[in-house]
Amino acid sequence: MAYCLIPALAEKFKKALKSGDINPRKLSEMTSKKRREFFDGLLGETHGKKVNALLETKLLLKNKERGMITWAKQLSGIKDETRVDLISKIERMIGTEENKKFILNPKNEEMFLQDLASTRLGVDVTIDEARKITKLSEKITKAKELHLKDVDNELNRIKYGRDIISMNEYVADLKPGMNAIDQFTNVANVPRALMATLDVSAPGRQGFGMITRKSFWKNLKPMFKALFSENAYADIQADIITRPNYDKMKKAGLRLSGLGDKLTEREEAFMTNLLDKIPGIRGSERAYTSFLSKLRADAFDDFVRKAELAGEDVSKQGRVIKDLADVVNNFTGAGRLGKIDQASPLANAFFFSPRKIAASVQKLNPQKYLDPRISPTARKEAFKSLVGMLGVSSSILALSNMAGADNKSDPRSSDFGKVKIGETRFDVSGGESGYLVLLARMISNKTKSTTSDIVRTLGEDYGASTRGDTLVKFFRNKLSPTASYVGDYLYGEDAIGKPFDAKKSAINRTIPLIIQTVVETQQEDPEMVTPSILAELFGVSASTYVNATDWNESKGVELLQFKEEVGQKDFDKANEKYNKEVKVKINKLLDTDEYQELSDDDKKTITRKIKSDIKSDIFKANKFKFKKTRAEKKEKKETDKKLKSLIESL
């Protein structure tokens, strides 16, 4: 937006022009420093610097008379019909060649450059910094000229882009440091970045929505180049910012990320710059960022071309490019956050991936495919991406099921959308299955057990989870590592009910996900370690766990007495034996048609009986017999007496 004086100062400026206090000839003979002092005295230091820098910008023009006239009009708000008296005075005073040569002679250059750079950057710079900016600008100009002479020369275009990046990085270093909120955010996002590193997971996580696009597959190679090379990463960024559609990308709000100090422009997985110097982490950041930025730029270019061929208005002022950018953003996990969009780093400190959450909601929003106000090309491409993504997931699930995997087709089961081999689950939905499961449970008010296939009504039994509990648990699982640590501390347990351990919880939130996967798979399902590593490496979430009952968490008197009698070591062995035998018997039941035909109440009865019998057998093997204490016997006797008396009084 053009700079102009506030009304009171504009009026003062006009009066000074009329009275002759502002004399263009005298101004032209002054050094830049003297001009600055003059305007500081008239308008104050803040406005004086800007007015002087603006004047000297106009003096760079070939037609310097026109430049000074424009300067006066811009600052004082003079309209064409009232310009004659003031502007003609400037024209007369600056008209001679002798006067013109004083406007910007070499001795004024340094002060001029300093004022100009400070005004444009919004931050004070030294003369040396202003000189550096000037040289970088000249370098960009020369590179641009070479590029325009031969627009098909890819090397010249990349060189031009690299020079722009160099200027941007230098200017960014001149900006003031982070404020308190940014500093908090920078630190709070460190655990998230640590967990996301040591892999090339962008394709399977945020990029999965574009898996059926050519641009998805062709950007895998550049991603690996960026993983191992800073130059390769810089070339990808240079390629993007010198594309013909780059201005449209920025205007439309396409999410193009980088690795600078501006946290709002970084990918959600790496919204902190405190780890940038660590080699392994830096490589992961480059790979993640370059893949998604180039994928988005390629997809946007393709969509714009298609919209243009369809006769749509793809100018920067139209709505079409915004609709196209929304499609690309949503299917690459970078949804808009509305009014808090510029606060995304802070939101990232509270939620694991707020933009990905927003993108998932938008992807599954019917309005995005039916609203006639949205660009037809955008609706068409969104539908193609959605169908392609669901098609790939369905195909993988069908093929794995034919190969013997234990997949769940009921969306009320937490294993829905996952390939289950042994005790390991592979999420082949790009992380979207969780939203479908939540939606199915909210609508039906039911949930389905992954171990017994029993369908339960939410909130039906005493202590059972309600719709509200299900919703809270879902969003607790979406909290960032830092926020979830605080949440677990406040609840006294994690989202799945395990007691809070401060030290263990802190460590778990700094270990990369791929390492956590290796450890948990090695413990529960060793044969699946290699497949799990490969899956996590490319962003396909792999989780290994056994749905087991932990007797150590029980507050029941019977188990507490058993633990005290046999000791911790034998107690743990008994617990392990119990879980193994329960798993074997229930899995056999699941394979029978008779069990599947039972009602849910009958299924509950038979599974309870199996568990009770196995526990009793274990107690017998350990020669344990539950003994009620005298106090318990006395309490039971008194309770029975009260109940009998109450019944008789009815």
The DSSP string of 425-472 is EEE-STT-HHHHHHHHHHHH-EEE-TTT--EEETT-STT---HHHHHH
Establish if 526 belongs to a structural domain.
no
Give yes or no: residues 266 and 350 share one domain.
Answer: yes
Paired sense of beta strands 542-544 and 424-427, if any: antiparallel
Establish if 615 belongs to a structural domain.
yes
Q: What percent of the chain has pLDDT over 70?
A: 85
Give yes or no: residues 69 and 186 share one domain.
Answer: no
Give yes or no: residues 243 and 354 share one domain.
Answer: yes
Establish if 448 belongs to a structural domain.
no
Give yes or no: residues 248 and 121 share one domain.
Answer: no
Last residue of a domain, one of 91, 110, 125: 125
Give yes or no: residues 71 and 208 share one domain.
Answer: no
Establish if 587 belongs to a structural domain.
yes
Give yes or no: residues 184 and 90 share one domain.
Answer: no
Say whether pLDDT at 14 is over 90.
no
Give yes or no: residues 369 and 231 share one domain.
Answer: yes
pLDDT grade for 464, boundaries at 50, 70 and 90: confident
Q: Which of 16-30, 185-199, 287-301, 341-355 has the lowest mean pLDDT?
A: 16-30
Establish if 40 belongs to a structural domain.
yes
Neighbouring residues of 547: CB distance < 8 A, sequence distance ≥ 6:
450, 451, 583
Establish if 424 belongs to a structural domain.
no
Give yes or no: residues 212 and 357 share one domain.
Answer: yes
Say whether pLDDT at 394 is over 50.
yes
Q: List, for residues 270-310, the tens digit of each pLDDT value.
A: 889 899 888 889 999 999 999 999 999 999 999 999 999 99
Establish if 597 belongs to a structural domain.
yes
Mapped onto helix, strand or coil, the DSSP state of residue 278 is: coil
Q: pLDDT value at position 555?
A: 75
pLDDT grade for 99, boundaries at 50, 70 and 90: very low
Give yes or no: residues 370 and 237 share one domain.
Answer: yes
Q: Which of 302-306, 310-314, 339-343, 419-423 has the lowest mean pLDDT?
A: 339-343
Could you tell me the residue range of the domain that residue 226 belongs to?
A: 178-388
Give yes or no: residues 310 and 213 share one domain.
Answer: yes
Instruction: Please tell me the distance from the alpha carbon of residue 310 to that of residue 331, in angstroms, as a whole number.
Output: 22
Return the number of other C-beta atoms located less than 10 Å from residue 488's C-beta: 21
How far from 76 is each of 1, 7, 8, 159, CA to CA, in Å? 16, 8, 10, 42
DSSP state of 539: T
Specify the residue for token string 């205007």. Answer: 251
Specify the number of domains making up the chain: 3
Question: Do 628 and 473 touch, CB atoms closer than 8 A?
Answer: no
Neighbouring residues of 133: CB distance < 8 A, sequence distance ≥ 6:
113, 117, 125, 167, 170, 171
Q: pLDDT value at position 74?
A: 57
Give yes or no: residues 116 and 199 share one domain.
Answer: no
Q: For residue 293, give the nearest of 250, 323, 251, 336 by alpha carbon.
A: 250
Mapped onto helix, strand or coil, the DSSP state of residue 479 is: strand
How many CA atoms does the CB half-sphere of 576 hold within 13 Å? 7
Give yes or no: residues 235 and 358 share one domain.
Answer: yes
Last residue of a domain, one of 109, 125, 141: 125
Q: List, for residues 538-570, the tens digit of each pLDDT value.
A: 999 998 877 778 888 777 788 888 888 889 999
The torsion defined by the Cα of 118, 119, 122 and 127, in degrees rounded to 10, comes to: 0
User: Whole-number mean pLDDT of the chain?
Assistant: 83
Q: pLDDT value at position 132?
A: 81
Instruction: Please tell me the distance from the alpha carbon of residue 81 to that of residue 480, in angstroms, as a whole number.
Output: 61
Amino acid, single-letter form, for residue 361? V
The pTM of this model reads 0.75
How many CA atoms does the CB half-sphere of 524 hold within 13 Å? 20
Q: For residue 290, give the nearest of 350, 353, 236, 357 by alpha carbon.
A: 236
Establish if 77 belongs to a structural domain.
yes
pLDDT grade for 102, boundaries at 50, 70 and 90: very low
Last residue of a domain, one of 365, 388, 411: 388
